[in-house]
Homo-oligomer: A and B are copies of this chain.
């Protein structure tokens, strides 16, 4: 966990999160628009045609927080944000569990949409997390999806 300023919050945690509470924190002076993304564990892996009973998320402690912090600071300037929160869960998760929260506040709505969308695209391709899908005794490290790389490219200026 690190809390860089009152308006930037980064947490890597096992516990679930409460979206209402997180939204309150994003509510700063001058905020007119808040966009939240919530990622949910799905119970089915389409690529491998496989039901998922649970998954385990591992990450690279220290690097994760540092890289997320860098990307948030860049987003702050680009979209004139008033707050950013990134929460990513690790450890064992089950289908329909919340896995990731990206919340962004700004004076204007399009900036909030774009910044939240960009940070999610970035997390998918750059934040050092890895998913191990489990189905009884079958364990399968999820493979990187190249369409995520394409998604990130749309933010290149």
What residues make up the interface of A, taking CB atoms closer than 8 Å to B? 18-21, 23, 27, 30-40, 42, 44, 96, 107, 109-110, 112-113, 116-117, 120, 151
Contact = CB atoms under 8 A, between A and B. Distances in A.
B36 A32 contact: no
A40 B83 CA distance: 14
Given A33-B39, A34-B40, 15 more contacts: A18-B20, A19-B19, A19-B23, A27-B40, A30-B42, A31-B96, A33-B38, A34-B36, A34-B37, A34-B38, A35-B116, A36-B36, A37-B112, A42-B107, A113-B120
Dominant secondary structure of chain A at its interface with chain B: mixed
A39 B109 contact: yes
A35 B113 CA distance: 9
Top-3 shortest CB links A-B: A20-B20, A34-B38, A36-B36
16 contacts: A19-B20, A20-B20, A27-B40, A32-B40, A33-B40, A34-B38, A34-B40, A35-B36, A35-B38, A35-B116, A37-B113, A39-B109, A109-B120, A110-B117, A113-B116, A113-B120
Nearest to A120: B109
Nearest to A34: B38
A57 to B, nearest CB: 15
Nearest to A117: B113
A108 B44 CA distance: 13
